[in-house]
């Protein structure tokens, strides 16, 4: 039998997925010691031979990562033979190469640690770059939450939608959404300064007058990328602007800054739980996991 082990960072998504799959689920016990160290306990003496373990690694990333490693190791010690590690948001994925000499390739290190801690298979959503999967020496699957965003807006019956990606890297996601909505789609040219991190977006004239524009990105972190696009769109008489993403990191006052720049609504998926995570990837994840059972 297979059961779902749910880590402290993905409780709602984990429960939804277990329900979709009609599998038993267990919430791990966790606490933080006074010195800041993490504690994990799997509250079971007997556990199934196969496990689906769900734990996202959004901020506080290091805490969530340590919890993940502790859960993997504790599960193996309990005799679990196969663990499918579902990490809806994989932290450190944007440091996937040495941009400057001497830098650590952070996500390469994480891939090693995830395997060493006990994962036999790795499933994630919209990893920053597909080639990151090559760092994993275990079978790895990169799912896309794009269709969940498309379905959300389809059910909302948005009139006159137009989908945009803030850069070429997110164009595939915008296309997934626009196909479902059967509407136009494009992307902007974006450049980020490697040292300062400042983002510049090239102006582009679009046929968006009186349309509802849905911006789709993989991650919204500081909001700078989205704000640049919103400022360009605002000069073109759009009716409404949604900023959507798979992974709503929303650091600091990102939400306020985006609202001030003219974004009407910010939405994300539950790959990262937050107040804007109103779109669930649970069905997509459950469908993918069904193939593994």
The 3-class SS string of 225-262 reads HHHHHHHHHHCCCCCEEEEEEEEECCCCCHHHHHHHCC
> Closest Cα to residue 242, out of 266, 218, 225?
266
Q: Which is nearer to ligand R5P, 41 or 234 (CB)?
A: 234
Q: How many other CB atoms sit within 10 Å of the CB of residue 75?
A: 25
Give the per-residue contact string, 57-96, with ligand R5P (x = CB under 6 A; - = no): ----------------------------------------
> Closest Cα to residue 89, out of 212, 209, 274, 249?
249
Strand pairing class (190-192; 199-201): antiparallel
- Residues 231-290 touching ligand R5P, rule: CB under 6 A, are none
Q: Which is nearer to ligand R5P, 84 or 243 (CB)?
A: 243
Asked if 165 touches ligand R5P (CB under 6 A), the answer is no
Identify the H or E element spanning 220.
strand 212-220
Asked if 150 touches ligand R5P (CB under 6 A), the answer is no
The least distance separating ligand R5P from the CB of residue 230, rounded to whole angstroms, comes to 12
Give the per-residue contact string, 183-222, with ligand R5P (x = CB under 6 A; - = no): ----------------x-----------------xxxxxx
Q: Which is nearer to ligand R5P, 30 or 172 (CB)?
A: 172
Q: How far apart are the first and last CA of the chain?
A: 9
Asked if 224 touches ligand R5P (CB under 6 A), the answer is yes
Q: Could you tell me where the DSSP H helices lie in 144-223?
A: 146-155, 171-181
Among 17, 40, 132, 170, binds ligand R5P (CB under 6 A): 170
Residue 90 is encoded by which pair of tokens?
């994989």
Helices first, then strands: H and E counts in the chain: 8, 15
Among 20, 66, 76, 169, binds ligand R5P (CB under 6 A): 169
Asked if 225 touches ligand R5P (CB under 6 A), the answer is yes
Please indicate whether residue 257 is annotated as part of the active site.
Answer: no
> Closest Cα to residue 194, out of 98, 93, 59?
98
Q: Which stretch binds ligand R5P (CB under 6 A): 60-68, 98-106, 113-121, 162-170?
A: 162-170
Cα gap 198→194, rounded to integer Å: 8
Q: How far is CA 261 from CA 39, 107, 229, in A?
A: 42, 32, 9
- Counting residues that bind ligand R5P (by CB under 6 A) gives 14
List the catalytic residue out of 16, 190, 205, 239.
190
Show which residues are catalytic.
190
Contacting residues toward ligand R5P, per CB under 6 A? 166-167, 169-170, 199, 217-225
């Amino acid at each position: 039998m297979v059961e779902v082990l749910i880590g402290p960072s993905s409780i709602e998504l984990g429960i939804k997925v277990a329900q979709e799959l009609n599998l038993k689920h267990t919430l791990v016990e966790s606490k933080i010691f006074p010195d800041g160290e993490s504690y994990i306990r799997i509250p079971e003496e007997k556990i199934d031979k196969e496990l689906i373990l769900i734990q996202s690694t959004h901020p506080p990333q290091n805490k969530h990562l340590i919890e993940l490693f502790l859960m993997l190791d504790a599960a193996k010690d309990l005799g679990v033979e196969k663990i499918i590690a579902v990490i809806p948001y994989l932290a450190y994925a944007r440091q996937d190469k040495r941009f400057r000499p001497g830098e650590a390739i952070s996500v390469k290190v994480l891939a090693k640690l995830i395997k060493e801690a006990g994962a036999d298979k790795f499933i994630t959503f919209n990893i920053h770059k597909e080639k990151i999967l090559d760092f994993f020496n275990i079978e790895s699957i990169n799912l896309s939450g794009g269709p969940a965003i498309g379905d959300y807006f389809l059910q909302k019956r948005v009139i006159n939608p137009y989908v945009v990606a803030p850069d070429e890297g997110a164009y595939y996601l915008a296309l997934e959404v626009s196909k479902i909505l059967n509407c136009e789609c494009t992307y902007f040219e974006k450049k980020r300064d490697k040292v300062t991190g400042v983002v510049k977006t090239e102006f582009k004239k679009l046929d968006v007058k009186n349309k509802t524009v849905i911006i789709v990105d993989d991650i919204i972190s500081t909001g700078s990328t989205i704000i640049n696009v919103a400022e360009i769109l605002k000069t073109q008489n759009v009716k409404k602007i949604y900023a959507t993403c798979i992974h709503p990191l929303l650091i600091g006052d990102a939400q306020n800054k985006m609202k001030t720049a003219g974004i009407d609504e910010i939405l994300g998926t539950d790959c990262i739980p937050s107040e804007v995570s109103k779109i669930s990837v649970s069905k997509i994840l459950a469908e993918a996991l069904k193939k593994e059972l």
